[in-house]
A and B are shown apart, each in its own frame.
Chain A
Amino acid sequence: MRKSARKAKLAASKTAVPKAGLSKTTLLKKPAGNPAKVTIRKLSTGVPGLDDILGGGVPEFSLNVLAGAPGCGKTTLAHQIAFASATPKKPALYFTVLGEPVLKMMRYQQQFSFFDETKLGNAVRFINLSDVVLQKDLAAVLEEIIAQVTAANAGVVVLDSFRTLARKANSDVGEVEVQSFLHRLAQFLTSWQATTFLVGEYVEDEIRDNSLFTMVDGIIWLSQVTERNSVVRKLQVMKLRGQATVPGLHTIRITEEGLQAFSRTLGLMGDKLKPARRQRLSTGIPDLDTMLGGGILEGDSVLVAGPSGTGKSALATQFIAEGLRLGEPGIMAIFEERPQGYARRADSFGLTLKSAEQKGTLELLYLRPLDLSVDETMQAILDAIKRVDAKRLVIDSLVGFEMALAPGFRTDFRESLYRMIGALTGAGITILSTVEVEDNFISLQFSHYAISFLTDDIIRLRYVEIDGQLRKMMVVIKMRGGNHSKDIREYVITDKGVVVIHPRRTDYAEMSTGIPHRTGPRRAQENEAAPEPKASM
């Protein structure tokens, strides 16, 4: 190879490969036939779920605003980003300005698990600018920031609160000076290859008039939405130059781990297609499997609807237990009953769930806290599915699920449910959801949610009055993937769980109303044996 060619090749390889030890660099990519474009690398925020919402993370060297009313989690978010992205070589400088006293801030922030004390002083450094701001002008503030950033070789810079600084400066020197300061600050920090976050207490109306929002590359808006007695935290990426973000309001939650974000489109992206040939899964009730044409199709969403006491939870437990017996791990998302009660009932049917839980093939998720969002619930379920590699999922029940949601989410329940079920079945999970419906003895209601469009199969349980008894009947209403029995079958709940008895009855009409009438002559019979003992009076 000629010397010049070797040189060119070496130069090209240096352009394409990041330097060792640098996790974030700007590279040139040159797709064939197109001029080279810069690749903007992204910083991970360290906030679970947020990088996906941002379209991969925060663009490197960008200038961003973390805005919102007090108490929305701005400072926590800024800390989380700082701790996630800082290294001793490219530290994060956290400038505090006339806001929360630093000792208090550190006192509270260290409670979060992301707050790594070992990074303090080297990778994450706190610098108080209050004295400079109070005693000097904006030029001195800028000078101090430049001196600190230069001395530390900072990779991430946080100014908390920028709003306080701007307000003070506005009253002293006017808006133009503040803009000029911001312009020079942005120019320096970008040239210095620092990614910057300006934290501020802003209200949405200010976006129109405040030139800050025009100048910055990104705006992450945090808010708290109150509806009736519930408060839900929300996050919106109002602006982020250079990359596609997920639009809309996303739920966030602050726990001891810090912030966690739940994308409102969680589950709509990256769906796997259901396999062309799907096997049928047994429900654990042989006669019901026959009624379903051999079982539930893998990846289907099944709705079991019926009034209270008809055995919906028992049927759901049998479905999971049968899966466990066949080596298919499962998840039971329970909203109405405590896991212990669930496990006890399963024990009474001879379906011990405890051993599966201990083996890690079953998780009982008790999701009862109020003010949940569907996205959080979905994340909890998706995480559990990943943990146990689940093939079957029970949601017991949709009514309990709705009750656990914050009122603001209940209005979107159907849409959210559609998204959630689509995401889960798309991932090949077979879902059995239960829903309580009231029998009205006039018609056969499937669900008051009108959600049959999002279920592949519907099994309806109902009470029917026969011979002075309220007996239980089941019928398969719908099966998207194939033919099914149209028989209305009587069943009982025994110590084995739900057991289908009797072939379909031909001697009654209008069974579906719950008050059938005999159509044929009454067969000569002794007293018909009751399937369940009648109460003695």
Chain B
Amino acid sequence: MRSVALRLINYETLKNGASETGTAATFPMTERLRPHLATLMGNGGFRALLARALVLASAEVSWLRKVIVNADGALEGLETPYAQLKPAEFRDGQVVLLAQLLRLLVAFIGPVMTLRLMGEIWPQLAADNVDFGNGDKK
């Protein structure tokens, strides 16, 4: 799932330029997903899902343990790690968290529906033959 997450981040990087995706203390991908998923499952639903993804991702990327999901479903506590970590490490955290979020969606609603949901945000996804069902662990 990491490769899919990486691809989505690349889409977003290409669209917005590196300034928004890699050089600020934010996770723009989760922000991009938030309104779409909140429409579907409500803010509370999105917040719960992201919090679970964060816990799972923290097991792989330790610095994510200091990050929290606030009441609006936005991530807080990114400034310090952003200042301390190398850009590649910070980006790795983004990839892992997004991968976990996608993995959760696949677990709940299956690869086809996850692909459709993601396709609404990134239409180029369908054309790229992305496989949400491959179950990669990385």
* A-B interaction: yes
Q: A: which residues have CB within 8 A of B?
A: 96, 101-104, 106-107, 110, 117-118, 120-121, 126-131
User: Are the CB atoms of A106 and B42 closer together than 8 Å?
Assistant: no
| A202 to B88 CA separation, bound complex (whole angstroms) | 56
Instruction: Assess whether A110 is in contact with B40, with CB atoms less than 8 Å apart.
Output: no
Residues of chain B with a CB closer than 8 A to A103's CB: 41, 45, 49, 105, 108-109
Q: A103 — nearest CB in chain B belongs to which residue?
A: B108
Does B74 touch A at the CB level, under 8 Å? no
> Would you call A117 and B112 a contact (CB within 8 A)?
yes
A130–B48 Cα gap in the complex (Å)?
14
Residue B117, interface by CB 8 Å: yes
A106, closest chain B residue (CB)? B109
Q: Beta-carbon contacts of B36-52 to A below 8 Å, as 1s and 0s?
A: 00111111110001000
B65 at the interface (CB under 8 A from A): no
Is the Cβ of A128 less than 8 Å from the Cβ of B109?
A: no
Give A96 to B38 CA distance when docked, in angstroms.
12
Say if the beta carbon of B116 comes within 8 Å of chain A: yes
Given A110-B110, A131-B42, 4 more A-B residue pairs with CB atoms under 8 Å apart are A96-B42, A101-B45, A128-B39, A131-B44
- Identify which of A107, A121, A129 contacts B108 (C-beta below 8 A): A107
**B113 touching A130, Cβ below 8 Å:** no
| Interface pairs (13), CB distance under 8 Å | A101-B41, A102-B40, A103-B45, A107-B109, A107-B110, A117-B112, A117-B113, A118-B116, A121-B116, A121-B120, A126-B40, A130-B44, A131-B43
Q: Which residues of chain A have C-beta atoms less than 8 A from B112's C-beta?
A: 117
A129's closest neighbor in chain B, by CB? Answer: B42
The residues in B between 106 and 132 inclusive whose CB is less than 8 angstroms from any CB of A are 108-110, 112-113, 116-117, 119-120
Distance in angstroms between the alpha carbons of A437 and B92 in the assembled complex: 78
B-side contacts of A102, CB under 8 Å: 40-42, 45
Q: Which residues of A contact B110 (CB under 8 A)?
A: 107, 110
Across the interface, do B41 and A128 meet the contact criterion of CB distance under 8 Å?
yes
Q: CA A120 – CA B118 in complex, angstroms? A: 12
Q: What chain B residues lie within 8 Å of A96 (beta carbons)?
A: 42
Bound CA–CA A236/B17 (angstroms): 59
> Are A127 and B44 in contact (CB-based, < 8 A)?
no
Question: Which residue in chain A gives the minimum CB-CB distance to B105?
Answer: A103
Nearest-neighbour CB distance to chain B for A111, whole angstroms, equals 10
Partner of A106, one of B38, B113, B119, B120: B113
| Closest residue of B by beta carbon distance from A126 | B40
Of the residues A101, A104, A120, A128, contact of B38 by C-beta under 8 Å: A128
Cβ–Cβ contact B45 & A128, under 8 A: yes
**Closest CB-CB distance, B5 to chain A, in whole Å?**
19
Q: Which residue of B lies closest to A148 (CB)?
A: B39
Provide the bound-state CA to CA distance between A107 and B120, in Å: 19
Instruction: Report if A130-B40 is in contact (Cβ < 8 Å); known contacts: A103-B108, A110-B110.
Output: no
In the complex, chain B residues whose CB is within 8 Å of the CB of A126: 39-40
Q: Note all chain B residues with C-beta closer than 8 A to A128.
A: 38-42, 45
Contacts of B113 in A (CB 8 A): 106, 110, 117, 120
B44: A residues at CB distance < 8 A: 130-131
How far is B112's CA from A118's CA once the two chains are assembled, in angstroms? 9
- Docked CA distance A107–B49 (Å): 14
B54: shortest Cβ distance to chain A, in Å?
17
**List of A residues within 8 angstroms of B38 by Cβ:** 128, 131
Which residue of chain B has the shortest Cβ distance to A115 in the bound complex? B113
Tell me whether B109 and A110 are in contact (CB under 8 A). Answer: yes
